[in-house]
Amino acid sequence: MGEGVVKIRPQFAYSRSRWLVTPMKSGAYRPWLIERGSLTKRLQSKTQHFHVRALHVHHHSPYLDEARLLGLPPHQQALLREVMLMDDQIPLVFAHSVLPHKSLRGPWQGLSKMGNRPLGAALFADHRVVRTPLQYKKIAKHHVLFRQVAKYLGAMPPAIWARRSIFQLRAGDRQHAIMVTEVFLPAVLGLK
């Protein structure tokens, strides 16, 4: 391989990365997908035993479309955090967050040590945080996030809905940004 050529590993180079501005034909998932407030708060109000189960926290390159949206070079590592939002032992939402290292300084330096605490609660507690418009995608077995969820759940429906957005915080002359993707699992539809 010649100099200056970056080899992209196939698991990070999925081409079907087009996300929608409206969750068309999302059926019963729609109210969950379009919720602009704190998903954590909504789940807490609808469940008896809400908790966050940390699944995987590691430093790695984000997926290509995530890196692009966050303005990161394709090879640059970030802190990737994957958690399951649960009601007792029932998984409701799989959350995948990309926290660039430069955003984990200053006011967000504690976000790298959230453990089993909900990231959303910390983000929505700060009135300075601005959220970009939500993007939506119906994902199926070809999508890397679908495969990530399947590792933890086993049996999966043919397709599930996801949404993502970027949370931004300006502190002094620095702009901090992190991306949060939430994959809604069928059990969330049973919540009243």
Structure confidence by residue, pLDDT tens digits, 20-76: 999 999 999 999 999 999 999 999 999 999 999 999 999 999 999 999 999 999 889
In whole angstroms, give the CA distance from residue 161 to residue 183. 6
pLDDT of residue 16: 47
Q: Indicate the pLDDT class of residue 8, thresholds 50, 70 and 90.
A: very low
Per domain, the residue ranges of the chain are: 22-190
What φ, ψ does residue 30 adopt, rounded to 5°?
A: -50, -50
Structure tokens at 162: 């996801």
Q: Indicate the pLDDT class of residue 17, thresholds 50, 70 and 90.
A: low
In whole angstroms, give the CA distance from residue 59 to residue 70. 16
- pLDDT mean over 107-135: 88
User: What is 22-190's CATH number, 3.40.1410.10, 2.60.40.420, 3.30.2130.30, 3.40.50.1000?
Assistant: 3.40.1410.10
Residue 10 has pLDDT above 60, yes or no: no
Structure tokens at 14: 């999925």
Q: Which residue has the higher pLDDT, 156 or 164?
A: 164
